[in-house]
Amino acid sequence: MSDTDPPETDADTLRTPIVAVLGHVDHGKTSLLDRIRGSAVAAGESGAITQHIGATAVPLSVISEIAGELVDPTDFDLPGLLFIDTPGHHSFSTLRSRGGALADIAILVVDVNDGFQPQTLEAIDILKRTETPFIVAANKIDTVPGWRPNENSPVQQTMESQSERVQSDLNENLYEIIGELSDNGFSADMYWRVQNFQANIGVVPVSAETGEGVPDLLTVMMGLSQRYMKEEMAIDAAGPGVGTVLEVKDTQGFGTTLDAIIYDGTIRADDTIVVGGLQGPIVTDVRALLRPRPLEEIRTEQTFEQVDAVAAADGVKIAAPDLDGAMAGAPIRVIRDRNRSEVIAEVESELAGIEVTTQEEGVVVKADTLGSLEAISSTLEEEEIPIMRAEVGAVAPRDIRVAETANEPTHRAILAFSVEVLDDARDLAEQEEVKLFENDVIYQLIEEYDDHVTAIEEAQQ
Ligand code: GDP
């Protein structure tokens, strides 16, 4: 065990809001996260940055150092912001807490030159469905013709000079984004004109490349969280920990481990936990709670230090026996002084909490996690495509047996999202003329299926 003190565990404290980054591929999600992490490391040389698993915590002191006079730490009582390290709406919809989204707030990254793209729209649908407040980061402003870097740190300026500074080309692109947001049912405006960030979407021009606008983005998010989300951040910090599995992976020396975010209470190194698994809840004893060693670069996770306890909201690697069947996106709960079967029942009901309506006739959907299964199913429901079976896991021969019972030719299909297709299932599908669709991007998967339906319908005419 390390000699670091266990976290403070006063009851009724406020936890850190959890932030996810979404957007179309190549619009700059990873670069923006890297830039935020980089700014935090640069500003926090005094030692304020701690190492995490699966998420980067930017404490209030560091945000106020980056944002200058716009963030006065005495105005805030939330501890900072916790950014989920894996960007993308796939991970967002996978990561759930108590049936909702794990992230409290999202950054939707949109390339100012490229505008709204299919995955931008997909992300917006997910944000709407989960009622997650979000801010738009209009990224890559440095690539807009006529752009000149801002001499002063952006947030040091008045809002008026900010808006004057925005050149016409950039302006045009930014208003196109605002227009797209309004076409999708959101009232949106440039962030310096937005009064209420809960009712209106603020658009923040940024460059992940130069860092311009990043302080503004952090300021807006901190303000939004503090003003509108404070009540949701109240936790029982000393209580039994509640969290979500980010990833199940092999860690040298520890076997199968869970990368997890604890969003309520505290998990201790001697706790018994219940984890959601493919075959139902797993009850196991924590063997070790792990963090990257303090002096290692953020995101390298070769060696770990063991800690006694981790309190919400924070990322941690959990080593324990019997984790092989654990599932990304599944709940984790500490039993401690609670009734064991009650905790198991809670995990069971969270696992069953997915709402997919299946029918006598329809397609078969297989996905890697409950969250993605839910996202695909709700898109199919919107398109009025019936579903006969929706399950987490690899495509197996029995799935083909189900699909071949469909009466409609368009329903003799399996939509497989980010899962393996077993060899004998593939052979059987070919033999029984069941069409297999495999993709790791939801909209592409559904597009491929839609094209197939169109082709069948045209052939029938
Ligand atoms: P992701 O797929 O959304 O995670 O996008 P990435 O972060 O991987 O970025 C895609 C490409 O755009 C990379 O080549 C980045 O270097 C580049 N990029 C991202 N942000 C910016 C930016 O603000 N300015 C410029 N010029 N390039 C950027």
For each of the chain's 461 residues, which pLDDT tens digit applies?
344 444 444 446 899 999 999 999 999 999 999 999 887 777 765 455 566 788 888 889 889 888 877 788 889 999 999 999 888 776 777 777 776 788 999 999 999 999 999 889 989 988 988 889 999 999 999 898 777 666 554 444 444 455 555 556 777 888 999 999 999 999 999 888 888 888 899 999 999 998 888 989 999 999 999 988 888 899 998 899 999 998 888 888 899 999 999 999 999 999 999 999 877 899 999 999 998 776 555 555 567 889 999 999 999 999 999 998 888 888 999 999 999 999 999 998 887 765 567 788 999 999 887 777 878 888 888 889 999 988 878 899 999 999 999 999 999 999 999 899 999 999 999 999 999 999 988 888 999 999 999 999 999 88
pTM exceeds 0.90, yes or no? no
Distance 152 CA to ligand 1 centre (A): 23
Angle, helices 442-460/370-382, rounded to nearest 10 degrees: 40
Q: What is the dihedral of CA 380, 386, 391, 397, to 10 degrees?
A: -120
Instruction: Name the DSSP class of 421.
Output: B
Instruction: Name the DSSP class of 15.
Output: P
Cα-only R_g, the chain: 23
Residue pair 244/261 in contact by the 8 Å Cβ criterion: yes
Per DSSP (E only), the strands in 237-285 are 242-251, 255-264, 266-268, 272-277, 280-285
Counting ligand 1 atoms within 8 A of each CB, the residue from 24, 25, 31, 209 with the most, and so the one to mutate, is: 31
- The C-alpha atoms of residue 125 and residue 179 are separated, in whole angstroms, by 16
Distance 26 CA to ligand 1 centre (A): 6
Tell which atom from ligand 1 comes closest to the C-alpha of 208: 23
| Residue nearest atom 22 of ligand 1, based on CA coordinates | 140
Distance 303 CA to ligand 1 centre (A): 29
